[in-house]
Amino acid sequence: MTTNLATGETMVEPSLPRVSTGLDWLDIILGGGLPAQSLVVLAGVPGSGKSILAFHLLAQAALDSGNAMLVTTTHQPVSKMRAQYSGLSFLGPTGVFDQLDVLELDTDIQDDTLLRLLNAIVSRIQDHKVGVAAIDSFRAISDVSPNRGQLWRFLGTLSAQLVENNCLGLLVGEYSLPRDLDLPELAMADVVIYLEVERLVASDLRTLRIYKMRGSKYVEGRQAFYVNNDGIQFLGGSPEPPEKDPDEEAEPTIWPPN
């Protein structure tokens, strides 16, 4: 909310349109989906489901607008990802995997520069009018940064280009929270979603938590889920949406519109 200095009236600022995650329960927890044009980090330990969550978002974007891009790195090539995830019902063989715009980055070039990688990503977003872009794994890019200053500039430029091109950016990577919260990508992110997995004797306990979401309310705490052939499934009844201020807008807009 802001105050009109001339009249003294309190005004409710319009919120950004929302991007659906493709998961109804997660959209509720997020207060209507992810804010459009945001930089989002999907963080977690290996095997926690972060890449599957990214594919849910990409699949929904491909169905809604047809403009979804998967950026893969040397350590996570598209051939490996296709073999691992095409068994998910919403991706393949009759799903949307083949509809994704794929950009394969070679992050093993000696003396590579972040500028080359940034230009490749931004150029594809602009040329193909991409609505949702996921980089998996972003750690392969951050690891080639010679220093934190260059990585901060990379992220700042990428964030600005997401806004200019009306694109939601997903950075998928292995992080441990709260230990890694001071890393540039986590500090710069508008939204941080953290996925964990606890290895139990009989089964695995997977949980999801919204660690940060600038300017928006969300449901706090860990949310349990499981993974099957249909992807990520909420474990329990329908979650309650976050509480709203009395003068807040009634419902956020899901983007893109129907």
What is the pLDDT at residue 245?
A: 62
Q: What is the CATH number of domain 25-244?
A: 3.40.50.300
Q: What would the two tokens of residue 28 be?
A: 């509720």
What is the pLDDT at residue 239?
A: 78
| Beta-carbon contacts of residue 27 (< 8 Å; ≥ 6 apart) | 18, 20, 21, 33, 254
Which residues pair with residue 121 across a beta bridge?
none
What is the pLDDT at residue 3?
A: 41
Q: Per DSSP, which regions of the chain are E strands?
A: 2-3, 10-11, 18-19, 34-35, 39-44, 68-72, 101-104, 132-136, 168-174, 191-199, 204-213, 223-228, 231-234, 254-255
What is the pLDDT at residue 99?
A: 87
CA nearest neighbour of 42 among 28, 25, 26, 31: 26
Q: How high is the mean pLDDT in each 10-residue block of the chain (258 residues)?
A: 44 68 95 96 94 95 88 82 87 79 80 83 95 93 86 95 96 94 95 92 87 92 93 84 63 51
Instruction: Count CB-CB contacts under 10 A for residue 45.
Output: 16
What is the pLDDT at residue 137?
A: 87
